Amino acid sequence: MDVLRGLSIFGMVLSGTIPFGGALPAWMYHAQCPPPGHTFNPDVSGITWVDLVLPVFIFCMGAAIPLALHRKFESGYNFIKIMKNVGIRFVSLVLFAIYIAHILPRSIGAAKWNVQLLGFEMPGFDLQLLTLFGFILLFPLFQLIRDSKKKIIWRGIGWAGAIALLVFLRLAYGQVFSLHRGNIIILLLANVYLIGAVSWCFTRNNHKARLLLFIVWGGIQLCCKFTGFDSVLNEYQPLSWFFILRMTHYMLLLIPATIVGDILLERLKGNGKSPHLVENNIWNKLFHLGAGLLVLWLTAALFQRWMMALYLLTPLMLFGLWMIVKKYVPAYIQLFSMVIWLIVLGLILEPVEGGIKKDPATASYMLMTSGMALCLLIFLDYVTIFLAETGLVKLFSYTGKNPLLAYVMTTWFIFPLLKISFLFFVYQCFFPAGWPWIGVFRALILVLLTMMLVAWLTKKKIMWRA
């Protein structure tokens, strides 16, 4: 799970740092923001690998909900206390989203200090310094602290510093603080987490009730799309700064993920079958490799709109993998059954809303990306067992354990640091005109170095938690 979460963070950061402006083929960007202009076009159907990273992260969050909250129930927490903790985490994520949006250089205001060095000028030098300072304040605000007394002290220092910084930005730069200025990805995660956690607590012993919730959210999604009643809530100012109804469409993805979490929980409790992958035999390899290749096939076919091949070959691939599971790796029957249901249902619904789309998110997008995320989890289950000691697996695992820090590290720390140190001009040199793939390689190196820093901090027990 940590490796898969790390992989999704890697994709998020990489997709934001690769060259834009039509430098690369369309499959390197969001399908609905094609090059060269990258203007959002809601009529474009299909997905790319970029459109998978957010659903994969939400899937990981959903699968982790049963694992995290069950531990609290076993520790003696009652329902009310757990709901209180869920609410506190929701509020923390919302405040995190609002704060990081206000400390971006472009959100602060007009620069007052431009610095020159060896013929190079760095405009907005002061804005970069302020972003760095704002990033540092996130440590006392969100670092995981076990000691309750120390936690209160450090949280107090962090919030005092954050408020002082925002007041300074208002007085010195004229920044207008707004609750409606927030990081949309973090706000989405906060909304989905809140509803998902509450839903799991109410249905933790009843999968039929959770299936009913799944149907209800499907109905809500259809009503929103065909009646537009959600726009009333989405435009209601006292509410829309922390809750947007269209974000809850991702419940179609999260609810299946919580069921996966239940299956994993049963295994951890010893009540379910363990994979027992002690033998690195050919059938294990074929099944897990097939699960990974299925994701590649679906992504390519949906992007290229190879619809005939998609509807002919995908069922054959699912059937072939099912026969392998049933006969040789039965420990994965439950998980792969879910893969089949999610992908087949997604294929059935694919034409209903004009093709699979990320925005506005279609039902087929939720279902198919949930099934694809589960395929990746199955594939990585094999990878992490037989390649657990490799550096790459450890890198992604440590990054996945520290997702909040990993998410902000590049934009809120690495880039400001490169700019105030003037190393940003060296970074720019590694993207010569007419060589966009060198720019991709540059972005890849930067992301991997960032992940190495996050992994090092994680090993030092410096972790952020909302």
Residue with tokens 């299956």: 263
Are 188 and 247 a contacting pair, CB within 8 Å? yes
pLDDT tens digits, one per residue of 172-206: 999 999 999 999 999 999 999 999 999 999 999 88
CA distance to 84, 98, 403, 463, per residue, from 155 (Å): 18, 17, 20, 14
User: pTM for the complete prediction?
Assistant: 0.92
Q: What is the 3-state secondary structure (H, E, C) of 5-53?
A: HHHHHHHHHHHHHCCCCCCCCHHHCCCCCCCCCCCCCCCCCCCCCHHHH
* AA letter at 321: L
How large is the angle between the packed helices 207-227 and 184-203, nearest 10 degrees? 140
Contacts for 163 with CB less than 8 Å, ≥ 6 apart: none
pLDDT tens digits, one per residue of 66-122: 999 998 888 888 889 999 999 999 999 999 999 999 999 999 999 998 888 777 778
Are 137 and 163 a contacting pair, CB within 8 Å? no
pLDDT value, residue 280: 61
pLDDT value, residue 279: 54
Q: Is the pLDDT of residue 271 over 60?
A: no
% of residues, the chain, pLDDT over 70: 97
How many Å from the N-terminal Cα to the C-terminal Cα in the chain? 19
Q: Is the pLDDT of residue 124 over 60?
A: yes
Are 251 and 200 a contacting pair, CB within 8 Å? no
Residue with tokens 């934009």: 411
pLDDT value, residue 123: 86
Find the length of the chain: 466
Mean pLDDT of the chain: 90
Q: Report, as an integer, the average pLDDT of 123-148.
A: 94
% of residues, the chain, pLDDT over 90: 68
Q: Is the pLDDT of residue 135 over 80?
A: yes
Of 300, 192, 309, 307, nearest to 255 by C-alpha is 192
pLDDT tens digits, one per residue of 373-405: 999 999 998 888 877 778 889 999 999 999 999
Q: Is the pLDDT of residue 278 over 70?
A: no
Q: Is the pLDDT of residue 227 over 90?
A: no
d(CA 32, CA 29): 8
d(CA 323, CA 338): 15
With H, G, I as helix, E, B as strand and everything else as coil, classify residue 123.
Answer: coil
Beta bridge partners of 464: 143
Q: Report, as an integer, the average pLDDT of 148-170.
A: 95
Q: Report, as an integer, the average pLDDT of 157-167.
A: 96
